Amino acid sequence: MIPMAEEATAQVENKQETQEPQQAERKVARRKKAPTPKKAAGAISAPDILLFGKYDFNIEIRDPSVKNYVNLKPMFYPSTFRSDSKKKFSKANLNIVERLANDIMRGGTGGKIGGRVIRTKGRLQGKKFKVMRIIEDAFDIVQEQTGQNPLKIYINALENAAPIEDTTRVRYGGIISNIPVDVSASRRLDIAIRNISMAAVIGGFGNKRNLTETLANELILAAKNDVNSYAIKRKNEIERMARSAK
């Protein structure tokens, strides 16, 4: 009886050993034959998403310092709820077009700039959709006048309007002096966006041109590095003060 039991156990073990490789081969064959998931009808991939349904996001950024902070995530209408606004460097995850819209929405009475007090009176504060339409119309004007992708013009304007040096106040005892400092990449981008949006507000203040036209004009001038651009003037002024403080 004992030899028969040992023989039956050996047969079962041999059967299991032969079945294990066969099962492994079947699993590999099933993986190879597994059909790839089909794209749902009407689904759009990321490369097919265009800004406002018109403009490509495939833009080359020449400035290596601001490259890590320029977000060109493909979106039809760049608008988020900024749930991570309290996190450090969260602005780097925000689409660069939406950052321009957020700066244009600045409310309140503004401040004295260029000898004039700019009073927006909060007419654009919180009106994200209206501001996005203004940017869309401005980009259309840029495309008509230059024949290029307006998103590329916008990126070039930011690169040209971003200052490299700035000054800061330092107190030594009772003496306060200005010293030159290098500007971080994040702050360079912040200053450029703020100056471009402020230039659009100043240009339309007490002028026959509306905000759409002034924004388009500022983007074109800044992209050409034209001294008539308000953002370029501010950049040159900031860097001149930094050089004089050395």
Assign residue 166 the CATH number of its domain: 1.10.455.10
Q: Per residue of the chain (246 residues), give pLDDT as tens.
A: 445 545 555 554 555 555 555 555 655 454 444 444 444 444 445 557 888 888 888 888 888 888 888 888 888 888 877 666 677 777 778 889 988 988 888 754 455 555 555 655 567 777 888 889 999 999 999 999 998 999 999 999 999 999 998 888 888 888 888 888 888 888 999 999 989 988 888 887 767 778 899 999 999 999 999 889 999 999 999 999 888 887
The predicted structure's pLDDT at residue 12:
45
**Cβ(155)–Cβ(149) below 8 Å:** no
Provide the residue range defining the domain that includes 192: 46-244
Q: Do the domain assignments include residue 38?
A: no
Q: Do the domain assignments include residue 39?
A: no
Q: Do the domain assignments include residue 83?
A: yes
Cα–Cα distance for residue pair 29/42, rounded to 1 Å: 32
Q: Which two tokens stand for residue 162?
A: 């971003």
Same domain for 78 and 198: yes
Q: Do the domain assignments include residue 40?
A: no
Same domain for 205 and 154: yes
The predicted structure's pLDDT at residue 223:
92
Same domain for 189 and 94: yes
Same domain for 212 and 175: yes
pTM of the model: 0.73
The predicted structure's pLDDT at residue 118:
60
Please state the length of the chain: 246
Same domain for 217 and 143: yes
Same domain for 59 and 1: no
Task: Look at the block and give the residue holding tokens 């998931």.
Answer: 37
Q: Do the domain assignments include residue 63?
A: yes
Same domain for 152 and 111: yes
The predicted structure's pLDDT at residue 41:
45
